[in-house]
């Protein structure tokens, strides 16, 4: 037995190149002592990743749970449609990505917290692509982005987590999100607290205990958020906020278009003290039945350019507060709010 | 470690595992066509039915379908996910008064994914009946031919229906009885023998969905059981010749946000009865009676940016109702374009 151990240790010390493969496999019938080949698959992701060449692939062969993993090299973990690949997380994070310059693909995973803290944690890396994944029931965030880089998310759901659905806290980060649900998280659907560029398209952000998607800057950073064709409903607080805070030079830019924003705590808000800048454009949105104001700018650094919006049955329709400015080229339909015109500044059309 | 010691350790572990399985439930259980309900529902020894698997599954656990078969109706009284991956047919056939899935426990969170629930001849139950729960997610399911509703939510539950087909059910497609929150995305609600989506109270959101050829209305929210809100966008509502495409009636206060939809080929396109609706950016075409019909004192339709063509009447306010327009609708080729509307201004 000890001879086997020595042999294993030697093989390990010589580097994975000795037996790592470009493509490895996991299966319910596998064994982590295997080479993770198609004929002799492994049982868990953690073992398979160690036997996979950098930039290689781990393929799930059949439905089972495959365990949490820490990823320190470029890899794609792929469960094809037709296979349920679960990760139940009892403690810590489901997938932790921690390798300088690495590229990660996660496709078709169901990552579920049963005491776990974070669903997917991007600690260090270059790119992260998440497709067809469901991340639910973590005590903290569904997806936590602590590293700069480029992240894309498609056809996924971040549901019932104790913190934010998606938490963006790293600078120099680009995030694109398509056809994704952020639902029933205890805090926000998504929170951006760093100098990131974020795009959200065709997504549903519903029933979060905090707000929908917000930028919340605590220093002199620049964050940009573009939202198109998305639906924000029944979030307890404001659906969309660009909050630049009070640091001189902080810039929060938000462009929200063709979206339905209904029955939230409030609709669209630009928030910045003088010296900071919250700059919002709101075009062709439905902003209805929100408990607070529909479209508002609050503070000396806050402005909204509002055109083509339908703003109805909110408390205030268009609202200027504390030197904030809501510009309108007179193309918004603002009716049936408790106060339709809570202040606006007429702007020219060309 | 010598071999004898290793074996005895292995035996001890095996004994622990066996004892654990016999007395406790598992976080993840499995069902398969070749399973047996006498098994522990493990991956190696799956069960045969959802009913057996759920008793072996821990709260917040998952039941996974391994291969295509029927797995029987089930009553869910704990938080659990029942998941059939794509490419696997996981059927529940129901006849008589049985429901396909009954969820009945306060505060639980339940997810159903990839199930095919079908009513057989003589069915008088619903596909999914939520008697009580905190939330129920229904994803990638097909719910057809039930004698009652496709999906019936009885209490104040959050129900999400995603990428699901609800077709050919006798009492209607989806009904919300209580003050819950219903979200329907990317789904098809078609050919039901009553109304496609009906809410008597609570909040309804419909996005990117097709609601077609249901025998009465496409979507109706009526406030029978309390205040009701509807937000419907980017959807197609067509072919409700026996009723309306979208109806908003006010027994209690009712509010609707109807934006960027195609609403075609019904009796009336949109009916606003004693309630408030904003109707923006829709195509409202070829409805046999009216495009937008506002009925009764207090009914208020704010219409903006719509194309309204080929209806018998485009805008038709009656009985003290109001259709307000800021003058940016394109209303042509109707029998009568508008029997009345009130100009409104923009801000």
Number of residue pairs across A and B with CB atoms under 8 Å? 146
Cβ neighbours for B65, distance < 8 A, ≥ 6 positions apart: A63, A84, B30, B31, B32, B71, B82, B83, B84, B85, B88, B90, B114
- Quick one: tokens of B300? 């208020």
Longest Cα–Cα distance in chain B: 95
Given this model, what pLDDT does residue B250 score? 85
Given this model, what pLDDT does residue A171 score? 87
pLDDT in tens, A307-327: 999 999 999 999 999 999 999
In degrees, to the nearest 5, what angle opens at C-alpha B304 toward C-alphas B301 and B307? 105
Given this model, what pLDDT does residue A19 score? 64
A293 touches chain B (CB under 8 A): no
B302 touches chain A (CB under 8 A): yes
Kindly list the residues from chain A whose CB atom is less than 8 angstroms away from the CB atom of residue B257: 260, 262, 286, 288-289, 310, 312
- Quick one: tokens of A71? 């990823």
Kindly list the residues from chain B whose CB atom is less than 8 angstroms away from the CB atom of residue A284: 281
As a whole number, mean pLDDT of residues A184-198 equals 97
B184 touches chain A (CB under 8 A): no
Site of tokens 């019904």: B266
Output A303-308 pairs: Cβ under 8 A, ≥24 positions apart: A303/A270, A303/A278, A303/A279, A303/A327, A304/A268, A304/A270, A304/A280, A305/A280, A305/A281, A305/A347, A306/A281, A306/A282, A306/A332, A306/A344, A307/A282, A307/A283, A307/A331, A307/A332, A308/A283, A308/A284, A308/A332, A308/B305
Q: What is the pTM of this model?
A: 0.91
SS (H, E, C) A24-54: EEECCCCCCCCCCCCCCCECCHHHHHHCEEE
Instruction: Tell me which residues of chain A, numbers 72 to 91, contact chain B at a CB-CB cutoff of 8 Å.
Output: 81-84, 86, 88
CB contact under 8 A, B64 and A28: no
B207 touches chain A (CB under 8 A): yes
Residue A3: pLDDT band by 50, 70, 90 thresholds?
low
pLDDT in tens, A67-95: 999 999 999 999 999 999 999 999 999 99
- The ranges of chain B with pLDDT < 50 are 1-23
Distance CA B100, CA B126 (A): 7
| ipTM confidence | 0.88
Chain A: nearest CA to B35, how far in angstroms? 15
Residue B34, classified by CB atoms within 10 Å of its CB into exposed (0-12), middle (13-18) or buried (19+), is exposed
Q: Facing residues of A97 across strands?
A: A71, A122
Given this model, what pLDDT does residue B251 score? 82
Mutation to test the A interface, candidates B90, B253, B347, most A Cβ within 10 Å: B347
Give φ, ψ of B153 to 5 degrees: -115, 115
pLDDT in tens, A35-57: 999 999 999 999 999 999 999 99
As a whole number, mean pLDDT of residues A233-240 equals 98
Q: Facing residues of B143 across strands?
A: B117, B166
- Quick one: tokens of B124? 């008088």
* A6 pLDDT above the threshold of 90: no
Distance CA B72, CA B91 (A): 7
Distance CA B129, CA B154 (A): 8
Kindly list the residues from chain A whose CB atom is less than 8 angstroms away from the CB atom of residue B179: none
Cβ neighbours for A12, distance < 8 A, ≥ 6 positions apart: none
Site of tokens 């995973």: A109
Given this model, what pLDDT does residue A253 score? 98
**Cβ pair B296, B274 in contact under 8 A:** yes
Distance CA B40, CA A253 (A): 55
CB contact under 8 A, B326 and A333: yes
Chain A: nearest CA to B272, how far in angstroms? 16
Distance CA A305, CA A271 (A): 14
**Cβ pair A142, A148 in contact under 8 A:** no
CB contact under 8 A, A82 and B86: yes
B326 touches chain A (CB under 8 A): yes
Mutation to test the B interface, candidates A289, A295, A316, most B Cβ within 10 Å: A289
CB contact under 8 A, A110 and B62: yes
Among all residues of chain A, which has the CA nearest to that of B88? A82
Instruction: Tell me which residues of chain A, numbers 1 to 60, contact chain B at a CB-CB cutoff of 8 Å.
Output: 1, 28
Q: Facing residues of A327 across strands?
A: A305, A345
Q: Measured in whole angstroms, how far is the alpha carbon of residue B9 from the centre of its chain? A: 52
């Amino acid at each position: 037995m000890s001879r086997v151990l020595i042999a294993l240790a030697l093989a390990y010390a010589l580097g994975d190149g000795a037996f790592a493969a470009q493509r490895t496999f996991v299966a319910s019938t596998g064994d982590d002592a295997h080479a993770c080949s198609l004929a002799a698959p492994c049982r868990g992701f953690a073992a398979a990743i160690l036997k996979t060449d950098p930039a290689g692939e781990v393929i799930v062969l059949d439905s089972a749970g495959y365990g949490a993993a820490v990823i320190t090299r470029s890899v794609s973990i792929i469960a094809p449609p037709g296979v349920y690949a679960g990760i139940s997380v009892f403690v810590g994070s489901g997938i932790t990505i921690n390798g300088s310059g690495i590229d990660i693909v996660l496709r078709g995973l169901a990552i579920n917290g049963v005491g776990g803290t974070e669903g997917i944690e991007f600690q260090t890396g270059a790119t992260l692509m998440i497709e067809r994944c469901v991340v639910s029931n973590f005590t903290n965030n569904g997806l936590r982005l602590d590293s700069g880089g480029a992240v894309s998310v498609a056809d996924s759901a971040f549901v019932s987590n104790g913190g934010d659905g998606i938490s963006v806290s790293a600078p120099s980060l680009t995030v694109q999100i398509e056809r994704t649900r952020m639902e029933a998280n205890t805090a926000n659907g998504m929170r951006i607290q760093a100098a990131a560029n974020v795009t959200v398209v065709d997504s549903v952000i519903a029933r979060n205990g905090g707000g929908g998607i917000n930028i919340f800057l605590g220093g002199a950073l620049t964050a940009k958020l573009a939202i198109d064709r998305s639906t924000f409903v029944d979030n307890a607080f404001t659906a969309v906020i660009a909050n630049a805070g009070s640091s001189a030079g902080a810039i929060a830019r938000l462009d929200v278009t063709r979206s339905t924003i209904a029955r939230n705590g409030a609709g669209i808000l630009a928030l910045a003290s003088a010296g900071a800048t919250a700059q919002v454009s709101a075009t062709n949105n439905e902003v209805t039945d929100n408990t607070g104001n529909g479209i508002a700018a609050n503070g000396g650094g806050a402005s909204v350019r509002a055109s083509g919006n339908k703003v109805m049955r909110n408390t205030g329709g268009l609202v200027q507060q504390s030197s904030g400015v809501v510009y309108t080229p007179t193309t918004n339909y603002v009716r049936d709010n408790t106060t339709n015109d809570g202040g606006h500044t007429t702007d020219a059309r060309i | 470690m010598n071999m004898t010691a290793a074996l005895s350790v292995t035996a001890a572990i095996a004994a622990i595992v066996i004892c654990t399985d016999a007395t406790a439930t598992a976080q993840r259980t499995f069902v398969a066509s070749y399973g047996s309900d006498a098994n522990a529902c493990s991956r190696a020894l799956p069960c045969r039915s959802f009913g057996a698997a759920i008793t072996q599954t821990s709260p917040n656990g998952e039941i996974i379908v391994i291969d295509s078969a029927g797995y029987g109706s089930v009553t869910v009284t704990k938080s659990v996910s029942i998941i059939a991956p794509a490419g696997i047919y996981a059927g529940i056939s129901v006849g008589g008064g049985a429901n396909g899935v009954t969820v009945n426990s306060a505060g639980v969170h339940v997810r159903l994914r990839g199930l095919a629930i079908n009513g057989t001849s003589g069915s008088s139950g619903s596909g999914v009946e939520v008697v009580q729960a905190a939330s129920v997610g229904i994803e990638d399911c097909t719910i057809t031919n039930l004698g009652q509703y496709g999906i019936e939510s009885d209490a104040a539950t959050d129900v999400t229906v995603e990428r699901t087909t609800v077709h050919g059910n006798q009492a209607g497609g989806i009904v919300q009885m209580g003050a819950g929150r219903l979200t329907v995305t990317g789904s098809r609600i078609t050919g039901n023998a009553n109304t496609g989506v009906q809410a008597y109270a609570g909040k309804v959101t419909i996005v990117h969905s097709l609601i077609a050829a249901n025998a009465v209305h496409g979507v109706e929210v009526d406030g029978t059981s309390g205040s009701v809100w509807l937000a419907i966008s980017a959807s197609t509502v067509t072919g409700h010749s026996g009723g309306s495409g979208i109806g908003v009636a006010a027994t209690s206060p009712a509010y609707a946000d109807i934006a960027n939809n195609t609403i075609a080929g019904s009796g009336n396109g949109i009916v606003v009865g004693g309630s408030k609706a904003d109707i923006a950016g829709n195509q409202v075409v070829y409805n046999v009676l009216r495009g937008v019909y506002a009925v009764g004192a207090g009914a208020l339709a704010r219409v903006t940016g719509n194309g309204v063509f080929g209806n018998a009447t485009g805008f038709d306010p009656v009985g003290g109702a109001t259709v307000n327009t800021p003058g940016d609708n394109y209303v042509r080729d109707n029998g009568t374009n508008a029997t009345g509307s009130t100009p409104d201004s923009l801000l």
